[in-house]
């Protein structure tokens, strides 16, 4: 069936139309108008309405690049349903290379937002009203913050069967069963009954080709799982992801200079060595050992640490067998994808 036209921020989009709408957000104090661009691909045929959002944290620019590549795809012209893609949600933070809003708030703690609230809360409210409401599914794209890089992973509330199905469809090596945090976009979307995935990959303010390609491929695979794209239009993959219920950060036991011994995606056994920290002269040196068994899903790239700094993020897995083949397969698939 042909779907009806939709209206976003006062602009009507007809079925079969692809367009970019500038959604007005709060002005800067210079009196400069600000807007959040929303790409709309409104298919002719009825189907799901999917939102894909990037840079809710203004320095997490990998999602912005994933969306840019996504919008180039000619096959979007024939989708079923509707795609709403917002490459830069936190337009203020993006401008300042900052995770936060100009009022120093974390946008991803202010959903669903309010018209009468702070600047951050107003932005959250606009995103909800113009984009999220009326969607049936969502994908929110993030990257590691503060010199930390993440292995491509999905975080989702997988107790919900539809969310789990889509999380698996994303075809990254690891799914983290992540509870919903109050104020996050994911939480606000879940309150409206919209299954939403959070994709985490790479590092803030950096491009990482594996993270970008895995994200693009993941969005397309989810669109296929939703029936928006056909199987022929979407990349094939044999990845059967590992699922972890718990993750933990290992912290620096002393202040000093860190030498990390395990890569992203590496497997660690309980008590195995993951790195060393030494003072600048190497007189005092302390080994860091993993308190748990699992897979490295995030790590600090900056080797200068204070005692207590989070250096490595491990998804707990009891069975270490099978980790390496999945990571290898994933890397091969991503390198071959063109």
Name the one range near Zn ion by CB under 5 A: 52-60, 64-72, 218-226, 282-290: 52-60
Nearer to Zn ion, 60 or 65 (CB): 60
CA-to-CA distance for 190 and 185, rounded, in angstroms? 8
Min CB(159)–Zn ion separation in Å: 22
How many residues touch Zn ion under the rule CB under 5 A: the total is: 3
Min CB(9)–Zn ion separation in Å: 25
Nearest to 138 by CA among 51, 35, 44: 51
Provide, for the chain, the percentages of residues in helix, strand and coil under a 3-state DSSP scheme, each rounded to the nearest 5.
25, 35, 40
Nearer to Zn ion, 142 or 186 (CB): 142
Interacting residue with Zn ion among 39, 42, 57, 267 (CB under 5 A):
57
3-state secondary structure of 247: strand
CA-to-CA distance for 286 and 176, rounded, in angstroms? 30
Min CB(124)–Zn ion separation in Å: 14
Min CB(139)–Zn ion separation in Å: 13
CA-to-CA distance for 140 and 167, rounded, in angstroms? 12
- Are 253 and 286 in contact, with CB atoms under 8 Å apart? yes
Nearer to Zn ion, 143 or 225 (CB): 143
Which residues, in sequence order, are bridge partners of residue 153?
A: 174, 200
Min CB(301)–Zn ion separation in Å: 16
The binding track of 83-122 with respect to Zn ion, each residue x by CB under 5 A or -, is ----------------------------------------
Residues 122-151 that bind Zn ion (CB under 5 A): 142
Nearer to Zn ion, 57 or 171 (CB): 57
From residue 228, give the alpha-carbon distance in Å to each of 2, 43, 153, 210.
14, 9, 22, 24
Residues 244-283 that bind Zn ion (CB under 5 A): none
Nearer to Zn ion, 64 or 237 (CB): 64
Min CB(268)–Zn ion separation in Å: 24
Min CB(57)–Zn ion separation in Å: 4
DSSP state of 131: I
DSSP state of 254: S
Nearer to Zn ion, 47 or 138 (CB): 138
CA-to-CA distance for 99 and 308, rounded, in angstroms? 22
Which pair of tokens denotes residue 285?
Answer: 């040196």
Give residues in contact with Zn ion (CB under 5 A): 57, 60, 142
């Amino acid at each position: 069936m042909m779907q009806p036209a939709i209206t976003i921020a006062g602009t009507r989009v007809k079925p079969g139309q692809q367009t970019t709408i500038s959604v007005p957000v709060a002005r800067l104090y210079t009196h400069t108008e600000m807007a959040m661009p929303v790409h709309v691909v409104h298919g002719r045929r009825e189907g799901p309405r999917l939102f894909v959002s990037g840079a809710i944290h203004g320095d997490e620019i990998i999602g912005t690049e994933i969306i840019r590549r996504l919008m180039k795809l000619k096959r979007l012209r024939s989708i079923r349903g509707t795609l709403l893609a917002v490459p830069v949600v936190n337009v203020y933070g993006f401008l300042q290379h900052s995770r936060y809003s100009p009022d120093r708030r974390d946008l991803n703690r202010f959903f669903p937002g309010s018209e009468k609230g702070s600047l951050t809360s107003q932005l959250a409210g606009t995103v909800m009203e113009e984009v999220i409401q009326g969607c049936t599914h969502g994908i929110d794209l993030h990257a590691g913050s503060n010199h930390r890089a993440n292995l491509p992973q999905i975080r989702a509330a997988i107790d919900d069967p539809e969310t789990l199905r889509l999380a698996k469809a994303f075809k990254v090596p690891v799914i983290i069963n992540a509870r919903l945090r109050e104020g996050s976009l994911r939480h606000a979307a879940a309150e409206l009954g919209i299954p939403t995935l959070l994709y985490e990959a790479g590092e803030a303010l950096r491009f990482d080709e594996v993270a970008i390609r895995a994200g693009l491929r993941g969005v397309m695979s989810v669109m296929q799982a939703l029936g928006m794209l056909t199987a022929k239009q979407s990349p094939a993959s044999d990845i059967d992801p590992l699922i972890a219920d718990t993750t933990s950060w290992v912290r620096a036991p002393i202040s000093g200079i860190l030498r990390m011994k395990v890569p992203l995606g590496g497997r660690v056994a309980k008590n195995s060595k993951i790195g060393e920290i030494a003072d600048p002269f190497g007189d005092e040196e302390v080994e860091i050992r993993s308190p748990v068994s699992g897979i490295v899903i995030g790590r600090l790239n900056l080797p200068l640490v204070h005692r207590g700094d989070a250096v490595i993020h491990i998804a707990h897995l009891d069975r270490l067998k099978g980790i390496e083949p999945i990571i290898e397969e994933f890397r091969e698939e991503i390198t071959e994808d063109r």
